[in-house]
Amino acid sequence: MTINHHQLKHIETVIGQMIRFDRPADAVLSAYFREHSKLGANDRHIIAETSFGALRRLLQLRALIAPDKATPRRLALVALLKIHKLNVKELGEAASAGEKEWLGQIKGKVLPASLEVDAELPQWVIERLGEQTPEQVIALGKGLAEGAPLDLRVNTMKMKRDELLGRLQADGLECEATPYSPLGIRLKTKPSLAKHELFKTGVFEVQDEGSQLLGLITGARRGEMVVDFCAGAGGKTLLLGAQMASSGRLYAFDVSEKRLAKLKPRQARSGLSNVHPQLLASENDTKVKRLAGKADRVLVDAPCSGLGTLRRNPDLKFRQNPDSVAELNAKQASILASAARLVRAGGRLVYATCSLLPQENQDIVAAFLADHPDFKLVKMDEVLAEQKIPLQMGDYLELKPQLHNTDGFFAAVLEKNA
């Protein structure tokens, strides 16, 4: 692989825009590709892989560049060297003689011992991870610095998983069943699937295996009343609807009109007729009060720091901070308390996040249970056994990329006393 002058310039510009951390990195990249619509597929691939790779290893790259300033240009050069394992000669005319000489010195540089750099996690995140050994922190950090696989969820209303696997393999796609979710398929590569006939007809959706497990542990059944309290674009809503075999009533609540608008075409493709999207003004909207005490299941996939999704969104560890997490904690507690009002006696409430921080997870659940003696924790192992999911977890679902090859997810199942 050789890099030309134009590719290096694009990579440098994209990294420069990303490390301002004023908007999501994927939004930066999408906007850049729209502005440079003539870029070919190979150029786009190199630019995307290198710029995201630089974000994933930003602390390491900065440490290698120090004491020099980590400019976008230097970050781009060192990223090409470290991520694509290029040698200096392969930079050809793209880099100057002085840059090549500097890179030669970087190549043999030994990094200083530092938990932050080894784990690729900022100090404030490490301090908030709870009681973990340095080895555990490094293993977690390395798992979060890897790229995520592409997982699909089969729509069981339209096809069985084994049949979908066979169809995709017949199309030349290398794939296999996911180890934990009975609905999941993991692809070996990342083809564009938006034009695939089976996607267009709603046979499958793209969804991380961990996210599928959050839907499955909700345990929605035929004929029930179920609420997805923070539905977003509806990935878990559609899973719940299929679990219910399109019967009963499934409410998809969200405070964002934009997110709910993305659910509409997905719902149409899925063939589900039991989904009722509802826009809320806030978690205390009157629409919530109308369903008080009526729901069999309520799923709260709460707004959170997203630190469990660093494989896909490596910029989040630099865009979040202790203050933003504290703000989220207040919101999480308020949303959980509001959603709890919907649960009928004997019904279940699932609290979930894509965070790894105890402050957003166990602490929120403990405070809720202290304030709501009419709810009790259901051990996660019981819930997983009910759904025939081959995982041992203890009290909570705690998925970690280095152990389960999913995003980092947390969930607790709470049951209202009958």
Q: What would you report as the CA-atom Rg of the chain, rounded to the nearest whole angstrom?
A: 23
Task: Give Cβ neighbours of residue 161 (< 8 Å, ≥ 6 apart).
Answer: 154, 177, 182, 183, 184, 185
The Cα 222–Cα 137 span in angstroms is: 42
Give the DSSP H or E segment for 359.
none
Spot the catalytic one: 175, 230, 304, 354.
354
Q: How far, in Å, CA of 97 to CA of 102, rounded?
A: 9
3-state helix, strand, coil in the chain (%, to 5): 50, 15, 35
- 405 sits in the region (left: phi over 0; alpha: psi -120 to 50; else beta) called left
> Which residue from 278, 198, 201, 196 is spatially nearest to 237, judged by alpha carbons?
278
d(CA 263, CA 234): 5
Is there a binding annotation on residue 254?
yes
Tokens of 294: 């009526």
**8 Å CB contact between 234 and 266:** yes
* DSSP-derived 3-state class of residue 153: strand
Positive/negative CA dihedral, 375, 378, 383, 385: negative
Residue 354 annotated in active site: yes
Report which of 388, 386, 366 is spatially closest to residue 376, judged by C-alpha positions.
366
Q: Judge contact between 193 and 218, C-beta under 8 A.
A: no
Terminal-residue alpha carbon distance, the chain: 64
Inter-residue contact 230 to 300 (CB < 8 Å): yes
Binding site membership for S-adenosyl-L-methionine: which residues?
254, 301
Binding site membership: which residues?
254, 301
Q: Which residues are catalytic?
A: 354
